[in-house]
C-alpha cells in the first residue's frame, strides 16, 4: 500500500491516468461504489440476500423448526435437483433464449433411468450416461430448429414440453411409476450421503485458500504489468470473510446430518460453470451473443455454435437434474418433472440475478435463487399450507423478481451500464 | 507488435491492387442496392467512397466485411479470387471493418470488446495481457477512454468509435474499411482519426473510407470514388473541384447544393440577381 502510493507518484499507473474516473481504492470508497452501483440498477445479488433475510425472519418467527440444522440439510438435498436444472437455465438465458421444457426433459430422463436400470437391468452408470446423452440430443434438436429453421426457442421448447412429457408417460406405461432399489448407490446419494465433518471443513478452507491464491497471483501480475492492483490487506480481508462464512455454514450444518454430497456436486457444477462463463473464450462469446448478436457475428464468432452449446448444456443439465430427483425420491414416476419444476428452475435463475433479456448472469445465481425458492417451499410446507397456496406465493415471488429485473434494466440503461 | 510509426513508409504505393471488385451487384428483393460496381484498392492507398444517402456505400462495405453476400460479381483479394461468406472469413483474410453502427457489445467492457472473438488463451483468459494490450492500442490512437473495465454502454459516441477502430487494428489487417469514421467525433478526435488513417497508409495497408465530409475526404484520400444510386459515377483526384464532386454525387449540375449556393450569392449581392 505504501509502495503503491510511491509507485503512483513516480509514474501514474496505466489505468489510473484519467482523473475523471473515480476509483474505489479504500474500504470507505468500496462501500460508496457499491451504493452507487445499486442505485444505478446494477443490483447483483442484493435482492436475493434481502429476500433470504426476509424469508428466514418470517418463517423462523412462524415456526422455529425452519432454521434448525436438520431442516436446512433437507432443504439442501431438495435444492440440488432443481438447482442443477436452474444452472442450465442460466446458460440459455445468457444468450437471451429460453427453454420451457426443462421440467419435461428432467421427468423423461428420470423415467428413462428407471426403465433402463430397473426394468431392463442395465448397469446404472450406463443408464445415467444414456439419459444424459439423450438430454444433449434434445438440446441439439432445439438448436437445429432455432439455427436452421428460425423457430423461436419459446415455441420449440413449448412443443418439447408436451412431447417429452408424452414420451415419459409412454415409457412408464400403465404402472405409472418404477421404484428404484433402496440401498443402491444412486438412491443413497440422493437421500443419505453426507460429507464427513472433517471433509466439509477442509473443503471450506480449501475454497478460501484458492480465492486468496488467485487474487494474489492476479494482483502480482497486474502490478508487474504496471496496472493497478488490489492491496494485500483487502485480499486478506476478503479471504478471511469467505473462510468465516463457509466454515460457519459447515459447522452449523454439521450440527445436523451434515452437508449432502449431492449439494456438493451441485456447488461443484456451479463453480465449474462460473469459471467457464467468466474465464473462457466460450463464456465471453455467450455474453456477447446475449448482449448483441449481430456484433458478435461481425466479430467473427460462430453464433450458431454458441446457441447450440447453450441449448445442449441446458437440456443436458435438465436431464442430470431429473436423474438426481429420481435418486432423491427413489422412484421414477409420472409426476416427476411436472407441476412447478419448470417454473421453479426458471424462477431460481431469474431471482438469483440472471437477466431474462440476455447477456447478464452468473452461475451462482442458480445457487442463490434455488435456495430462495426452496426456502419458501420448505417454510410453507412446515406451516402445513396446501400446494395451492404454495403455487400462488411462488408465482408472486417470480413476478416480483422479474419486475425487479426489468426495473433494474431500465435504470442501468439510463445510467449507462447496459 | 510493431507500432504504427516504425514501419518503412516506402513500401507503400505498390501498383498491385490489394482488392479488386468487378461487376458487384446486390439486390434486396426488388431493390437493387448495387449494380455492376467496380473498385480497386492498392496497398498504401486511401480510397474515399462518397455518395448520397442510399448510394450503396454501406452495402458495399458490408459485402466486403462478409456481412452480406453479393448477388453477382467477383471479389479478388491479394490477386486471388475469394468468396466472403461470413465475417470470420473476411477477418481471417485480413479485412478489418469499422461499421457505422458500431457493432460493439454494450454489456461487455472495453477490453472484452476489443478482443471479442480473438481472446488470448481461450481456456484461461489472460485478462492482464489483454488489458495491457488494450491500453497500448488506445494510447497509440491517443484515445481518451476513462477506464477499460467499464461496460461500453457508459462511453460516449466518440469513445465508442475509438474502441471500434482500436479493435480493427488488433489483427494487423491488410485492408481497413471505415464506414463514416468521423461522423460521431469532435474536432480533435477527427484530426486524430485522420492522422491514424495516414499512419495506417504509411504501413502499406489499403484503406477504404466512407464519409459525407468532403473536407475530411480531401484531407486524406488518394482517390475519390463516387457512387450514385448503386452505380459507379466517376473517380476523382483529391484536388477535384467541389462542384465536380457534388455534380457526380447528385447526378446533375442543377442540384440542391448549387441552387443553395446561387441563392446565397443573390442574397449577398442583390444587384447581381436583378
Roughly how many angstroms between the first and final C-alpha of chain A, as a whole number?
33
- Cβ <8 Å between A360 and B132: no
The rounded percent of chain A whose pLDDT value lies above 70 is 94
pLDDT, one tens digit per residue, over B160-192 is 888 888 888 888 888 999 988 888 777 877 887
Reported pTM: 0.86
Residues 49-78 of B with CB under 8 A from A: 65, 67
Residue A38: CB atoms within 10 Å: 15
| Section A158-174 average pLDDT | 94
Provide the sign of the torsion angle of the four alpha carbons A242, A247, A252, A256, taken in this order: positive
**Closest alpha carbon to B63 in B117, B113, B17, B19:** B19
Whether pLDDT at A380 is above 70: yes
pLDDT, one tens digit per residue, over A111-154 is 999 999 999 999 999 999 999 999 999 999 999 999 999 999 99
- Cβ <8 Å between A281 and B147: no
pLDDT, one tens digit per residue, over A202-230 is 999 999 999 999 999 999 999 998 888 88
ipTM of the complex: 0.86
**Closest alpha carbon to A172 in A338, A406, A412:** A338
Lowest mean pLDDT among A7-16, A25-34, A71-80, A250-259: A7-16
Chain A residues whose C-beta is within 8 A of a chain B C-beta are 14-15, 18, 20-21, 218, 221-222, 225-227, 279-282, 284-285, 287-288, 290-292, 294-302, 359-360, 412-413, 415-418
Q: How confident is the model at residue A417 (pLDDT cuts 50, 70, 90)?
A: low
Whether pLDDT at B272 is above 90: no
From chain A, the residues in CB contact with B179 under 8 A are none
pLDDT, one tens digit per residue, over B196-221 is 788 778 878 899 999 888 888 888 99
**What is the three-class DSSP state of B242?**
helix
Per DSSP (E only), the strands in A5-44 are none
CB-closest option in B87, B99, B108 to A300: B87
Residue A415 has phi, psi (to 5 degrees) of -100, 10
**Closest alpha carbon to B161 in B84, B72, B101, B83:** B101
Q: How confident is the model at residue A75 (pLDDT cuts 50, 70, 90)?
A: very high
Provide the sign of the torsion angle of the four alpha carbons B115, B120, B124, B130, taken in this order: negative
**Which of A20, A24, A37, A300 to mutate against chain B (most B CBs within 10 Å)?**
A300
pLDDT of residue B7: 39
pLDDT of residue A21: 65
Shortest Cα distance, chain B CAs vs residue A411, angstroms: 12
**Which of B108, B126, B134, B149 to mutate against chain A (most A CBs within 10 Å)?**
B108
pLDDT, one tens digit per residue, over B240-264 is 888 888 888 888 777 777 778 788 8
From chain B, the residues in CB contact with A288 under 8 A are 105, 108, 112, 116-117
Residue B2 has phi, psi (to 5 degrees) of -85, 140
Residue B2: CB atoms within 10 Å: 8
Whether pLDDT at A271 is above 90: yes
**Closest alpha carbon to A417 in B106, B43, B142, B120:** B106
| Section A243-260 average pLDDT | 95
How far apart CA A49 and CA A44 sit, in angstroms, is 10
CB-closest option in B88, B97, B132 to A302: B88
Q: Which residue of A has its CA nearest to B96?
A: A299
User: Which residue carries 442543377 as its cell?
Assistant: B254
Q: Which residue of A has its CA nearest to B128?
A: A222
Q: How confident is the model at residue A25 (pLDDT cuts 50, 70, 90)?
A: low
- Cβ <8 Å between B124 and A280: yes
pLDDT, one tens digit per residue, over A54-71 is 889 999 999 999 999 999
Mean pLDDT, all residues of chain A: 89
Using a CB–CB cutoff of 8 Å, tell me whether B140 touches chain A: no
Amino acid at each position: 500500500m505504501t509502495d503503491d502510493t510511491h509507485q503512483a507518484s513516480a509514474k501514474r499507473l496505466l489505468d489510473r491516468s484519467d482523473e475523471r474516473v473515480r476509483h474505489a481504492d479504500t474500504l470507505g470508497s468500496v462501500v460508496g461504489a457499491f451504493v452507487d452501483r445499486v442505485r444505478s440498477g446494477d443490483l447483483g445479488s442484493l435482492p436475493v440476500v434481502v429476500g433470504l433475510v426476509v424469508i428466514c425472519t418470517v418463517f423462523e418467527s412462524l415456526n422455529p423448526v425452519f432454521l434448525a440444522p436438520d431442516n436446512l440439510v433437507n432443504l439442501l438435498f431438495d435444492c440440488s435437483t432443481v438447482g442443477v436444472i436452474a444452472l442450465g437455465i442460466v446458460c440459455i438465458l445468457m444468450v437471451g433464449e429460453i427453454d420451457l421444457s426443462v421440467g419435461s426433459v428432467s421427468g423423461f430422463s428420470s423415467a428413462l433411468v428407471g426403465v433402463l436400470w430397473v426394468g431392463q437391468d442395465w448397469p446404472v452408470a450406463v443408464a445415467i450416461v444414456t439419459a444424459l446423452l439423450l438430454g444433449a440430443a434434445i438440446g441439439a434438436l432445439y438448436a437445429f430448429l432455432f439455427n436452421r429453421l428460425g423457430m423461436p426457442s419459446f415455441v420449440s421448447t413449448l412443443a418439447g414440453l408436451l412431447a417429452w412429457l408424452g414420451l415419459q408417460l409412454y415409457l412408464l406405461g400403465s404402472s405409472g411409476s418404477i421404484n428404484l432399489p433402496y440401498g443402491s448407490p444412486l438412491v443413497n446419494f440422493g437421500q443419505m450421503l453426507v460429507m464427513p465433518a472433517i471433509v466439509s471443513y477442509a473443503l471450506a478452507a480449501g475454497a478460501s485458500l484458492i480465492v486468496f491464491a488467485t487474487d494474489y497471483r492476479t494482483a502480482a501480475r497486474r502490478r508487474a504489468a504496471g496496472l493497478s492492483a488490489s492491496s494485500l490487506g483487502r485480499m486478506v480481508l476478503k479471504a478471511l470473510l469467505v473462510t468465516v462464512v463457509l466454515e460457519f455454514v459447515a459447522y452449523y450444518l454439521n450440527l445436523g446430518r451434515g452437508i449432502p454430497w449431492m449439494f456438493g456436486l451441485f456447488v461443484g457444477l456451479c463453480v465449474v460453470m462460473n469459471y467457464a462463463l467468466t474465464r473462457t473464450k466460450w463464456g465471453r462469446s455467450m455474453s456477447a451473443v446475449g448482449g448483441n448478436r449481430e456484433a458478435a457475428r461481425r466479430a467473427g464468432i460462430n453464433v450458431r455454435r454458441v446457441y447450440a452449446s447453450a441449448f445442449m448444456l441446458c437440456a443436458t443439465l435438465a436431464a442430470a437434474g431429473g436423474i438426481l430427483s429420481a435418486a432423491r425420491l427413489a422412484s421414477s414416476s409420472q409426476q416427476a418433472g411436472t407441476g412447478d419444476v419448470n417454473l421453479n428452475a426458471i424462477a431460481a435463475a431469474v431471482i438469483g440475478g440472471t437477466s431474462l433479456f440476455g447477456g447478464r448472469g452468473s452461475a451462482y445465481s442458480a445457487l442463490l435463487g434455488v435456495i430462495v425458492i426452496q426456502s419458501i417451499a420448505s417454510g410453507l410446507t412446515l406451516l402445513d399450507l396446501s400446494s395451492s397456496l404454495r403455487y400462488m406465493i411462488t408465482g408472486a415471488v417470480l413476478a416480483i423478481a422479474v419486475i425487479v429485473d426489468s426495473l433494474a434494466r431500465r435504470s442501468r440503461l439510463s445510467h449507462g451500464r447496459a | 507488435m510493431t507500432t504504427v510509426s516504425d514501419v518503412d513508409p516506402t513500401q507503400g504505393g505498390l501498383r498491385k491492387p490489394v482488392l479488386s471488385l468487378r461487376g458487384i451487384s446486390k439486390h434486396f428483393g426488388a431493390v437493387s442496392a448495387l449494380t455492376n460496381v467496380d473498385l480497386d484498392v492498392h496497398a498504401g492507398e486511401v480510397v474515399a467512397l462518397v455518395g448520397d444517402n442510399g448510394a450503396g456505400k454501406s452495402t458495399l462495405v458490408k459485402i466486403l466485411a462478409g456481412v452480406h453476400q453479393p448477388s453477382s460479381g467477383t471479389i479478388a483479394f491479394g490477386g486471388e479470387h475469394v468468396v466472403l461468406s461470413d465475417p470470420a472469413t473476411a477477418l481471417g483474410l485480413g479485412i478489418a471493418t469499422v461499421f457505422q453502427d458500431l457493432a460493439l457489445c454494450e454489456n461487455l467492457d472495453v477490453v472484452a470488446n476489443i478482443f471479442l472473438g480473438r481472446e488470448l488463451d481461450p481456456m484461461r483468459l489472460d485478462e492482464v495481457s489483454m488489458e495491457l494490450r488494450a491500453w497500448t492500442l488506445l494510447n497509440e490512437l491517443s484515445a481518451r477512454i476513462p477506464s477499460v473495465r467499464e461496460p461500453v454502454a457508459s462511453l460516449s459516441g466518440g469513445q465508442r468509435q475509438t474502441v471500434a477502430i482500436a479493435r480493427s487494428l488488433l489483427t494487423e489487417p491488410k485492408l481497413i474499411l471505415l464506414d463514416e469514421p468521423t461522423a460521431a467525433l469532435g474536432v480533435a478526435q477527427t484530426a486524430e482519426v485522420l492522422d491514424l488513417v495516414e499512419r495506417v497508409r504509411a504501413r502499406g495497408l489499403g484503406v477504404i473510407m466512407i464519409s459525407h465530409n468532403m473536407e475530411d475526404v480531401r484531407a486524406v484520400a488518394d482517390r475519390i470514388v463516387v457512387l450514385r444510386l448503386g452505380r459507379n459515377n466517376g473517380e476523382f483526384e483529391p484536388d477535384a473541384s467541389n462542384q465536380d464532386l457534388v455534380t457526380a454525387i447528385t447526378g446533375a449540375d442543377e442540384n440542391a447544393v448549387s441552387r443553395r449556393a446561387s441563392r446565397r450569392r443573390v442574397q449577398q449581392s442583390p444587384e447581381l440577381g436583378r
